[in-house]
Amino acid sequence: MIPDAQCYDVIVVGGSFAGMTAALQLARARRKVLIIDAGLNRNRMVRRSYGFLGQDGSSPDDFINNARQQLLKYPNLVWLDNVIALKAEKQDDGFIIATNEDKSYQAQRLVLAIGIIDKLPDIAGIDELWGKYLFHCPYCDGYELNEEDIAVIGTGHESIGKALMLPDWGKVTLFSNKVVHPDPSELKHLQARGVSINDELIEQIYVEHNRLAIRTTDQQIHRFKGGFLLPKTQLASPLAQQLGCEIGESAIGPFIITDESKQTTVKGVFACGDAARTTASISWAVGDGASAGIGAHQSLIFKDIFD
């Protein structure tokens, strides 16, 4: 242990949906918990989030702030706001986290709830529209498109699956964008689902009269109520790699491999939420967070089972 590090039972890195849920289980188990959070939850740009029971249509800011206020009532929980955990290291008797404030914290267990970063394709105008007119999850944001015209921005082969699902939410055009190449059976399936395909490259995306406007290289403008894409992703922080956790690779990006208790391949390190799954939503992040929090707690007691 380093001499002036502050000691906790568990450090949770990431204070969003997954991390707060993990911390709540641990605080209620009367363990000493530290949350370190940089405050950059993945959906921070959206006005409303949908599909979480009891919070359908809530603003993510309100959702997170309410949850945080509830957590802060536990005297055994400490929250470091707008702080980045820069370095994680395994020691003989636990783990050390060093932050961007030049401080170190020690714990017996770590929960990584760090989330992922969306790497949007290089198309003019796309960044400002992410979470406002462009989304990744139809279950989260499809209903509000009112069965109107929907664009799918091709980012790779997996865009075909997205285009095949979306006719349940509206009339779909798939922009292949020179990176989506359906085979004959996929083409037949797309056709049967009523999906139109546009093979022109997208030049620019913008909003005009409250509609998503897509300009293709043939200078045609296509208008939609909204659009979907599956961006490639990356882990929001290199902590898992620093610790030697095994990382898997899904069609869209890396994720931290865990077992059913959400323990990673490094004993004592748990991971949850978008960073440790191949599917993403608040409901899943919360469920994952509960598993990780309970797993981390029980691993402090039933050491032989978790070893």
Ligand X SMILES: Cc1cc2nc3c(=O)[nH]c(=O)nc-3n(C[C@H](O)[C@H](O)[C@H](O)COP(=O)(O)OP(=O)(O)OC[C@H]3O[C@@H](n4cnc5c(N)ncnc54)[C@H](O)[C@@H]3O)c2cc1C
Residues that bind ligand X (CB under 6 A): 13-19, 36-43, 46, 49-52, 84-85, 113-115, 118, 130-131, 135-137, 140-141, 236-237, 239, 273-274, 280-283, 285
For ligand X, the closer of residues 182 and 287 by Cβ is 287
Query: How does DSSP assign 182-201, residue by residue?
Result: --HHHHHHHHHTT-EEE-SP
The residues, ordered by sequence, that sit 6+ positions from 262 with a Cβ below 8 Å of its Cβ are: 270, 271, 272, 276, 288, 291, 292, 295
d(C-alpha 28, C-alpha 20), whole Å: 12
Distance in Å, CB of 194 to ligand X, minimum: 25
Closest approach of ligand X to the CB of residue 57, in Å? 9
Nearer to ligand X, 170 or 182 (CB): 170
Q: How far apart are CA 25 and CA 44, in angstroms?
A: 24
Minimum Å gap between C-beta 252 and ligand X is 12
The residue among 190 and 243 lying less far from ligand X, judged by its C-beta, is: 243
Residue 122 CA, distance from chain mean position: 20
Query: Which distant-in-sequence residues (6+ apart) come within 8 Å of 201 by Cβ?
Result: 177, 178, 216, 217
Between 14 and 293, CB nearer to ligand X = 14
What letter does residue 248 receive in the DSSP assignment? E
For ligand X, which residue has the nearest CB?
273
Minimum CB distance to ligand X, residue 134 (Å) = 7
Q: Give the nearest distance from C-beta 166 to ligand X in angstroms.
A: 15
**Minimum CB separation from ligand X for residue 302, in Å?**
26
Widest distance between CA atoms in the chain: 67
Opening angle at CA 294, ends 235 and 21, nearest 5: 55
Of 235, 242, 269, 263, give the one whose Cα is nearest residue 89.
242
Cβ-based nearer residue to ligand X, 50 or 224: 50
Nearer to ligand X, 197 or 256 (CB): 256
